[in-house]
Amino acid sequence: MMTVQTKIGSAAADAAQVLARLGVSEALTTGGNRPVRSPVTGEVIAHVHDASAAQTAGAIERAHGAFLAWRNVPAPRRGELVRLFGEELRAAKADLGALVTLEAGKVTSEALGEVQEMIDICDYAVGLSRQLFGLTLATERPDHRMMETWHPLGVVGIISAFNFPVAVWSWNSALAFVCGDACVWKPSEKTPLTALATQALFERACAKFGDAPAGLSAVVIGGRDVGETLVDHPKVPLVSATGSTAMGRAVGPRLAQRFARALLELGGNNAAIVAPSADLDLALRGVAFAAMGTAGQRCTTLRRLFVHESVYDAFVPRLKAAYASVKVGDPREAGTLVGPLIDEAAFGLMQTALADAKAAGGQVQGGERVPMGEAFYARPAVVEMAAQTDVVKRETFAPILYVMKYRDLDEAIALQNDVPQGLSSSIFTNDMREAEQFISARGSDCGIANVNIGPSGAEIGGAFGGEKETGGGREAGSDSWKAYMRRATNTLNYGKTLPLAQGVTFDV
């Protein structure tokens, strides 16, 4: 265990240079009311300006005006704007990735991966812009045709969490833009700089595009109150909100109150099962990345591990050795696998959870603070538990993996499902029956169920989201685009009579 304070290079100077290269005006990041702290060093690296309620409402009105024009632009042409934005992201990948590292604390490869995810969803959305199709349906009336058409919806409000400071916005906005919508984005108050940089890149793409309506995309900085203005505004027909279940509990009913659509992407408490036939080398790598990657701060982070009693003693000591040896430190340095926690509060919640686990009989390895100036780094913790107690059932957004032993698969699946959240899950097995059962109707109850890969991370081609307290929303691939459009059913009569449906007569 380290006891010496480790020296760490300044983040403020790096941030200023990167922001300038990304085209963010200094006026936006200096002199504001809200300090932005880098979790890498704990330094304040900028002061951004919160949007007032009037400024937020103004951005929404402008976005609505942009939507009225944008909805008339043919979808493949709208795709061209997203294509150009994807090109800007490719050109700026290193800089935007560096800013993700400075502001969210992700290690370099994960930060670059986050930007790559933005590029991927842009490519996906460009293709989608020629595939926003509806169905033609059988009608019971002669000389009639029935079909459905998908129309742009309006202004999409996007509220995002700190841990995917830019990718989550792009999953929503790339689709929303090709669907003919405008977007107003309230990023996490912990990560406003990456949002401002993304907006600057989007504006570069708009300049190349030529005639994108002003206000098509806007960023409004601030806390919960700014989010609430978006949630309550009558000209925002859809709010996509990513964050804690507590946030979703506040946002969901407010949207329901005015019959607006909610796309909720909330907390997870993801599990993996290591079965008797598992390839233990593969499982070790899968578990280690899923549980310790992003310092345990992914919604899909692996938090609960069920290991079959026949392989427990072969597997768990190797896992604990990996936990003890993994490099925790400056996420900018090569070789670092675990970067900082976002802030002191996150470290405090981690310590509380570990104390609760110990009180419930858990055997804790790791979890200590790694001294690095003002920043909050912790060794990832692995905790052997005899049972799935309350602390295991709640999401603690930190690198804690609870490990439990199981005897039969039905029991393990029941335990895995016995939590309020339902985001992601996986099984490591080479037994086809077990794998199929896990992904069957009586298997995992999560939105994501994997075999022989961990629960963490996802490709943009699939629909992303989860059940129960995770909120039920789906983003990114498959048919998630339908959330950003409104469906109209059209019946056309090309005959000379007017037969009514269900044989009704009404002769006047």
What are the residues binding ligand NAD (CB under 6 A)? 159-164, 186, 188-189, 223-224, 227-228, 231, 242-244, 247, 250-251, 265-268, 299, 395, 397, 423, 470
The residues with which 401 forms a beta bridge, in sequence order, are 382
Q: Are 404 and 304 in contact (CB under 8 A)?
A: yes
User: Nearest approach, Cβ of 158 to ligand NAD (angstroms)?
Assistant: 9
Q: Are 353 and 396 in contact (CB under 8 A)?
A: yes
Comparing CB distances to ligand NAD, the nearer of 240 and 437 is: 240
- Among residues 100 and 231, whose Cβ is nearest to ligand NAD? 231
CB atoms within 10 A of CB 137: 12
161 vs 392 by CB, closer to ligand NAD: 161
Nearest residue to 40 (alpha-carbon basis) of 91, 82, 102 = 102
Identify which of 46, 376, 327, 88 has the alpha carbon closest to the alpha carbon of residue 193. 46
Q: How many CB atoms lie within 10 A of CB 84?
A: 21
Instruction: Name the residue nearer to ligand NAD (CB basis): 147 or 250.
Output: 250
Position of tokens 């030529």? 210
Q: Which is nearer to ligand NAD, 18 or 158 (CB)?
A: 158
- Grouping H, G, I as helix, E, B as strand and the rest as coil, residue 155 is strand
For ligand NAD, the closer CB: 285 or 394: 394
Task: Point out the catalytic residue in the list 114, 117, 228, 265.
Answer: 265
Q: Which is nearer to ligand NAD, 227 or 329 (CB)?
A: 227
Q: How far apart are the first and last CA of the chain?
A: 90
| Catalytic residue list contains 475 | no
Q: Is the dihedral of CA 248, 67, 59, 22 positive or negative?
A: positive
CB of 456 to ligand NAD, least distance (A): 11
Of residues 62 and 186, the one with the C-beta less far from ligand NAD: 186
Which pair of tokens denotes residue 4? 């010496």
265 noted as active-site residue: yes
C-alpha to C-alpha distance for 328 and 245, rounded to whole angstroms = 29
The residue among 299 and 353 lying less far from ligand NAD, judged by its C-beta, is 299
What is 228-281 written as a DSSP string?
HHHHH-TT--EEEEES-HHHHHHHHHHHHHTT-EEEEE----EEEEE-TT--HH
- CB-based contacts of 209: which residues, under 8 Å, 6+ apart? 80, 81, 84
Which residue of the set 299, 384, 395, 446 is catalytic? 299
Let me know: does 396 contact 350? Beta carbons within 8 Å.
yes
Least separation in angstroms between CB 175 and ligand NAD: 15
268: which residues sit within 8 A by CB, 6+ positions away? Answer: 299, 300, 301, 303, 395, 421, 422, 423, 424, 466, 470
CA gap 178, 168 in Å, rounded: 16
Report angle CA 438, 268, 162 to the nearest 5 degrees.
140
Q: Could you say which DSSP state residue 499 is in?
A: P
**Least CB distance to ligand NAD at residue 235 (A):** 17
Q: Which amino acid is at 292?
A: M
Going from the C-alpha of 52 to that of each of 75, 238, 471, the distances in angstroms are: 33, 21, 29
Whole-angstrom distance, CA of residue 265 vs CA of residue 55: 26
Residues with catalytic annotation? Answer: 265, 299
